[in-house]
Chains A and B, each alone.
Chain A
Amino acid sequence: MISVEGLRKSFGPQAVLRGIDLKIETGEILAIIGRSGGGKSVLLKHLLRLLRPDAGRVIVDGVDITRLRSRQLEQVRRRYGVVFQGGALFDSMTVFENVTFPLREKTSLPWREIAERANLRLEQVGLGGSGHKDPAEISGGMRKRVAIARALVTDPEIVFFDEPTTGLDPILVNAIHRLILDLHGKLRFTAVIVSHEIPEIFDLAETIAMLHEGVIVEAGAAAAIRASANPVVRQFIHGEPDGTPSPM
């Protein structure tokens, strides 16, 4: 379980996170939604310990990762898989090399097994024959799928998705969501997804947390958030510019 307690972060005079409290149960799919610039990616970077908080804790299975030294932190990160917003694929490597990279560098598995696992993940994301291509040669949707394959090749326990469908067309958004759901069913990882794909995210996530002006204004089951009476939540999920429901 991941537990965030009283997380605060400011950049200069600007307070981005103003006391975040959040619990993520093992094996669930949790989506963090909220307006652009609302601090979702900053929160995610704290969960990954790419940023250190001004105050508060991030506890992963009983370990406060905000206080860990680099060696201990590496042990925690070995359980992570991360899909970055732009894919963060290594330009100097082919698709196949990108997917095999974590296994080549982090494990002592024989090459044949590494190749088998990478090919399996590439097939699972629908890119079975694209291993030889360079990241620059493939489309945005394919890059996201390669990033998912790379994140999952080490069989991580916790997978973080930073806006995995931003910039994709609605068909691809649904395809990626189905892919995540399918892989989650097979691999049973805990998934934390930062997204503002409304309403598609409600079909993917079991739990939704709404981040607004540096605090979690509401968190709960997807159905409960969809039916929320909170005006901030309603405004966001219905896309109402002034917060008042539009007449249907």
Chain B
Amino acid sequence: MSNLISHFLLDPIEGIGRRTLQMVASLGRFGTFLGRATVLAVTPPFKLRQFLGRVHFIGFNSLVIIVLTGAFTGMVLGLQLFITLSRFGSDAFLGPAVALALIRELGPVLAALMVTGRAGSALTAELGIMRISEQIDALTVMALNPFRYLVIPAILAGVVTFPLMTAIFDVVGIFGGYLVGVKLFGVSEGTYFGEMQSFVDLGDIMTGFWKSLSFGILVTWVCSYKGYHAGHGAEGVARATTQAVVLSSVLILVWDYFLGTVLP
């Protein structure tokens, strides 16, 4: 009888408790990871070479995908907004509509998602392989802090490259909208860009900037953490990479909503 009570009543409760504790501990480690990274990021020695390497890895190597997705996002926006706005006779507002949608929302979010898919996953896989092949342990026993060599440069590179990638995405996207609106549907070039100057202000640009900056920290933090703590073997690295991309993508959208409610 007591076995039955234990099996049906106590075991599930124990399971919930165990999972809750694991989750809280995991969140704690996750937070500590960023805290440690923040402290080390502002204290010397700084690893400039590793930082520049990461800027190249996250930023420069993502340029093609950013330009490509930016162009087509702008073109789709141009197409859909022209169809919608022309129904109300407001196609003159195509330029500002494309620009505002890109600068405030789509630019930061889509650029971050693209960089997550290309560079975030690669970052997690690289750190995961370094973990399972004992390269991180090798740095540790050389009395060299792996955080300084692997994590800090990645997070700082995220801070620098995400706003730049977003800016490129926005510019290319606006040009994509221009191609469709002006060259395809015949909206006046002056109207497209002139109205944009009237309706887009510095506050909109700063909203996009803060979003992209925080996404840069978020993505590199999640991807570094998952890679740094990858499990054993190829399966562990594969799981860490999947989790990093999924978690980063979800957090980008959740955080975007919160920032959208806070920022002007």
Contact = CB atoms under 8 A, between A and B. Distances in A.
A78 B140 CA distance: 10
A78 B141 contact: no
B56 to A, nearest CB: 12
Contact of A88 (B135, B143, B145): B135
B143 A86 contact: no
B135 A105 contact: no
B138 interface: yes
B137 interface: yes
Contacts, number: 45
A146 B145 CA distance: 22
Interface in B124-170: 129-130, 133-135, 137-138, 140-145
A188 interface: no
Interface residues of B, number: 13
Nearest to A70: B145
Contact of B144 (A50, A89, A105): A105
Given A86-B133, A88-B133, A77 B143 contact: yes
Contact of B141 (A50, A89, A101): A50
B133 A50 contact: no
B134 A85 contact: yes
Contacts of B134: 84-86, 88
Given A86-B133, A88-B133, A50 B138 contact: no
Interface of A: 48, 50, 70, 73-75, 77-78, 80, 82, 84-86, 88-91, 101-102, 105-106
8 contacts: A48-B137, A50-B141, A70-B145, A78-B143, A82-B138, A82-B142, A88-B137, A102-B144
Given A73-B143, A77-B143, A88-B135, 20 more contacts: A48-B141, A50-B141, A70-B145, A75-B143, A77-B141, A77-B142, A78-B143, A80-B141, A80-B143, A82-B141, A82-B142, A84-B137, A85-B134, A86-B133, A89-B135, A90-B138, A91-B130, A102-B142, A106-B143, A106-B144
